[in-house]
């Protein structure tokens, strides 16, 4: 009897191991067949998710910029004297060795004051049609004034900046030479905007892969993205639904969505685009961020509270956070609703890892 039950246990264990191995085997076959399908022209790739905002694409061409203006803007960008107390420049928070984002969650401004959102990366900034996490500004030239005058960032004023620039021949003469007219704030702002538009966006393995695909060199393409990474790209484009919002060369649809991180009524509350539009549907809505260089940017989401890509993929797998209203929130018309585009989906550990591996190629 004892002997019998032991052999039963052994049989069950053997069965389970075999079953797991065959699931693993099926997974490997799926991974390899699917990833093979991406060694073809983009038009022959497996169908995109039905709600996709677009196809994935290589980095755009750099924008045309005026080098003279860029050089003036570069100096202004790095000059702490533009701030109220002479301590903070744009580069204090947008650091060149961190993709012009910051390596701290919340960047300290003048006198160590702290804002609420995490500093955005400035690479590719000239390609956005709305700026800031909440999309509240559309023109770079108009945006420049905001960090300069924000009381917790540079706490300065246009008057302070203009008095400083006028008194400094290096700036004054260079700008007067360039614009050939009396110096205005708009010219100072356009020099800074021109500089940040000129920041390079280095090609990543994904871009070399796309280049090889476009050139029809499939063997080379296979060298740039591994089977696992191509499988991750497939999941990203299909069942995981990421392409509904993260598509195109920036991996962003440039639209506002609430993915459930408003922290409504809680410590980290941020109402997002609602503060701009006043419309209840915009509570917690933020501009879809670019996923470029995402694995090298440690503070993710508008609040910078996320840093684990696996954790982020798992959050989406569950259909995103869907907080339930409590108590008097039940009848609150502003209680945010998570985007209906986020729906739960099945994802194995291997599939989750494959998506993360793909994100690391961007």
94 labeled binding residue: yes
What gap in Å lies between CA 329 and CA 331, rounded to an integer?
A: 5
DSSP label at 46? P
179 binds ligand HEC (CB under 6 A): no
80 binds ligand HEC (CB under 6 A): no
Q: Is the CB of residue 125 less than 8 Å from the CB of residue 199?
A: yes
336 binds ligand HEC (CB under 6 A): no
192 binds ligand HEC (CB under 6 A): yes
- Here's the x/- map for ligand HEC, 138-157, by CB under 6 A: it reads as --x--xx--xx----xx---
Of the candidate spans 40-48, 172-180, 203-211, 338-346, the one that interacts with ligand HEC by CB under 6 A turns out to be 338-346
16 labeled binding residue: no
Give every CB contact of residue 218 below 8 A, 6+ residues apart in sequence.
Answer: 39, 40, 212
Task: Report the residue number, 31 or 134, with the smaller CB distance to ligand HEC.
Answer: 134
Copy the structure tokens of residue 7: 């052999």
Give, as ranges, the residues between 113 and 142 that touch ligand HEC (CB under 6 A).
115, 117, 119-120, 122, 125, 128, 131-134, 140
Task: Report the residue number, 79 or 207, with the smaller CB distance to ligand HEC.
Answer: 79
Q: Is the CB of residue 63 less than 8 Å from the CB of residue 126?
A: yes
Give, as ranges, the residues between 301 and 330 that touch ligand HEC (CB under 6 A).
301-302, 309, 312-313, 316
Task: Report the residue number, 177 or 308, with the smaller CB distance to ligand HEC.
Answer: 308
Give every CB contact of residue 45 below 8 A, 6+ residues apart in sequence.
Answer: 37, 38, 237
250 binds ligand HEC (CB under 6 A): no
DSSP assignment of 183-210 equals: --HHHHHHHHHHHHHT------HHHHHH
CB atoms within 10 A of CB 353: 17
242 labeled binding residue: yes
The per-residue b/e assignment along 254-279, b for 16 or more CB within 10 angstroms, e otherwise, is bebbbbbbbbbbeeeebbbbbebbee
CB atoms within 10 A of CB 311: 12
Task: Report the residue number, 212 or 285, with the smaller CB distance to ligand HEC.
Answer: 285
β-bridge partners, 131? 137
- Cite the DSSP H helix spans in 218-348: 218-224, 227-237, 274-277, 309-317
161 binds ligand HEC (CB under 6 A): no
What gap in Å lies between CA 265 and CA 247, rounded to an integer?
A: 32
Show binding-site residues for heme c.
90, 93-94, 242, 245-246
> Which residues of the shown chain bind ligand HEC in the complex (CB under 6 A)?
88, 90, 92-94, 107, 109, 115, 117, 119-120, 122, 125, 128, 131-134, 140, 143-144, 147-148, 153-154, 192, 196, 240-242, 244-246, 257, 259, 261, 286, 288-289, 291, 294, 297, 300-302, 309, 312-313, 316, 339, 341-342, 355
């Amino acid at each position: 009897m004892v002997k019998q039950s032991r052999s039963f246990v052994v049989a069950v264990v053997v069965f389970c191991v075999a079953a797991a191995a065959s699931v693993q085997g099926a997974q490997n076959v799926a991974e390899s067949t699917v990833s093979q399908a991406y060694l073809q022209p983009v038009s022959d790739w497996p169908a995109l998710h039905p709600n996709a905002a677009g196809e994935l694409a290589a980095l755009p061409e750099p924008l045309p910029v005026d080098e003279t203006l860029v050089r003036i803007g570069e100096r202004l960008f790095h000059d702490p004297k533009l701030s109220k107390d002479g301590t903070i420049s744009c580069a204090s928070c947008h650091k060149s060795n961190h993709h012009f984002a910051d390596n701290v969650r919340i960047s300290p401004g003048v006198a160590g004051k702290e804002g609420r959102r995490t500093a955005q990366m400035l690479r590719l900034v000239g390609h956005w049609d709305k700026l800031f996490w909440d999309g509240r500004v559309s023109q770079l030239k108009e945006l420049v004034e905001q960090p300069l005058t924000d009381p917790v960032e540079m706490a300065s004023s246009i008057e302070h900046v203009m008095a400083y620039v006028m008194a400094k021949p290096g700036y004054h003469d260079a700008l007067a030479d360039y614009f050939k007219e009396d110096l205005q704030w708009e010219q100072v702002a356009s020099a800074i905007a021109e500089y940040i538009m000129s920041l390079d966006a280095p090609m990543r393995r994904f871009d070399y892969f796309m280049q090889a695909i476009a050139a029809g060199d499939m063997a080379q393409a296979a060298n740039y993205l591994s089977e696992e990474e191509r499988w991750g790209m497939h999941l990203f484009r299909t069942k995981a639904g990421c392409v509904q919002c993260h598509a195109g060369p920036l991996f962003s649809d440039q639209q506002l969505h609430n993915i459930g991180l408003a922290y409504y009524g809680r410590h980290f509350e941020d109402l997002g685009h609602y503060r701009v539009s006043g419309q209840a549907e915009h509570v917690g809505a933020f501009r879809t961020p670019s996923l470029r260089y995402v694995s090298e940017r440690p503070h993710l989401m508008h609040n910078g509270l996320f840093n684990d890509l696996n954790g982020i993929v798992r959050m989406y797998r569950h259909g995103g956070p869907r907080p339930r209203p409590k108590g008097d929130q039940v009848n609150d018309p502003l209680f945010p609703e998570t985007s209906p585009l986020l729906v739960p989906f099945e994802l194995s550990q291997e599939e989750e890892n494959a998506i993360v591996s793909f994100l690391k190629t961007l």
